[in-house]
């Protein structure tokens, strides 16, 4: 079939680390842009019956604690950065996590447990590498990497300020430790209106292929829609694809073949309705 427009597919590999060398670069170079791109569908594994309108925000940051090394037999002569960092991690669990659990978004994030903001200790590094030959020393440096997900109702400035206040409180308690906060990645929440044409056409295609109404959701994690909207200026952007969201990043993540086939039909039908078909073949 000859379409009354062009269809482009972008296969990029760095979405999990932010997408800056993939879709962001395509946007910056004008390959994805409002003056040449009408619609974008990002094939995330969010469920064959679901149209995903957007995602939560992310504040991904590193915190470094700097102490003073000493011989492990005389730890009192040093300043243990790892111990200090564990106290900060405990502060996050004690002071911040309960506050986050009380906040709730009106946006249809799935799974429903992700409708509250969250914070995850993504990594912790301190002292000598575990696989190295060990020597008796007090670790003078510790780094913790945190993944803070925030909801549409939380302003980014308040998210930043809340973390900074926790660091200041720990600095006051551990005056012999130096503290450095570094932002690794910041992403604002994104939500395309369900009245957008791309969302409505996808929902109609799901109804046609699957014989049941589509569900509109918002993703708990970010993906490349952030770049398409903010850098590319393309507002007509959603995510759609087969897969079980709750198995993401777990062993044996999978897609049912029947769902893959149905999702392919949905995408094909939506493409025909969005771009249109010319008379020639």
* pLDDT tens for each residue of the chain, 281 residues long: 888 989 999 999 888 888 999 999 999 999 999 999 999 999 999 999 999 999 999 999 999 999 999 999 999 999 999 999 999 999 999 999 999 999 999 999 999 999 999 999 999 999 998 888 999 999 999 999 999 999 999 999 999 999 999 999 999 999 999 999 999 999 999 999 999 999 999 999 999 999 999 999 999 999 999 999 999 999 999 999 999 988 888 898 999 999 999 999 999 999 999 998 876 55
Least Cα distance to 203 among 189, 217, 190, 223 occurs for 217
Q: How much is the pTM?
A: 0.89
Domains of the chain: 15-56+190-275 (3.40.630.10), 57-187 (3.30.70.360)
pLDDT at 279: 65
Rounded to whole angstroms, the Cα distance separating 79 from 91 reads: 19
Look up residue 137 and give its DSSP letter: B
For residue 157, give every residue at least 6 positions away whose Cβ sits within 8 Å of its Cβ, in sequence order, or none: none
Asked if 91 and 166 touch (Cβ cutoff 8 Å), the reply is yes
pLDDT at 99: 97
For 80, phi and psi rounded to 5 degrees? -80, 110
For residue 50, give every residue at least 6 positions away whose Cβ sits within 8 Å of its Cβ, in sequence order, or none: 110, 214, 215, 216, 217, 240
Across the beta sheet with 178-187, the strand order is 118-126, 141-150, 57-66, 178-187
Asked if 30 and 231 touch (Cβ cutoff 8 Å), the reply is no
pLDDT at 280: 53
Angle between helices 197-210 and 257-275 (to 10 degrees): 130
- The first and second tokens of residue 102, run together, are 């009380």
- With H, G, I as helix, E, B as strand and everything else as coil, classify residue 156: helix
């Amino acid at each position: 079939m000859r379409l009354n427009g062009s269809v482009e597919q972008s296969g990029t590999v760095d979405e999990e680390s932010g997408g800056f060398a993939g879709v962001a670069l395509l946007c910056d170079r004008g390959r994805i842009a409002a003056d040449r791109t009408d619609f974008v569908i990002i094939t995330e594994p969010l469920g064959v019956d679901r149209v995903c309108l957007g995602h939560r925000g992310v504040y991904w940051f590193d915190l470094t604690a700097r102490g003073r090394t000493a011989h492990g037999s005389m730890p009192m002569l040093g300043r243990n950065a790892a111990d200090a960092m564990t106290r900060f991690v405990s502060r996050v669990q004690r002071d911040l996590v309960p506050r986050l659990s009380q906040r709730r978004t009106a946006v249809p994030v799935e799974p429903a447990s992700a409708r509250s903001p969250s914070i995850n200790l993504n990594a912790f590094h301190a002292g000598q590498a575990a696989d190295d030959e060990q020597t008796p020393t007090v670790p003078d440096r510790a780094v913790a990497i945190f993944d803070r997900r925030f909801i549409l109702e939380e302003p980014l400035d308040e998210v930043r300020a809340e973390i900074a206040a926790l660091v200041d409180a720990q600095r006051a308690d551990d005056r012999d430790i130096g503290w450095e906060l570094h932002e690794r990645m910041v992403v604002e929440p994104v939500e395309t209106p369900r009245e957008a044409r791309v969302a409505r056409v996808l929902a109609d295609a799901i109804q046609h292929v699957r014989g049941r109404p589509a569900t509109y959701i918002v993703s708990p994690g970010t993906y490349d829609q952030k770049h398409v909207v903010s850098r590319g200026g393309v507002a007509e952007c959603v995510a759609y694809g087969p897969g079980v969201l709750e198995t993401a990043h777990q062993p044996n993540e999978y897609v049912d073949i029947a769902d893959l086939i149905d999702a392919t039909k949905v995408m094909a039908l939506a493409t025909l309705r969005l771009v249109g078909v010319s008379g020639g073949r």
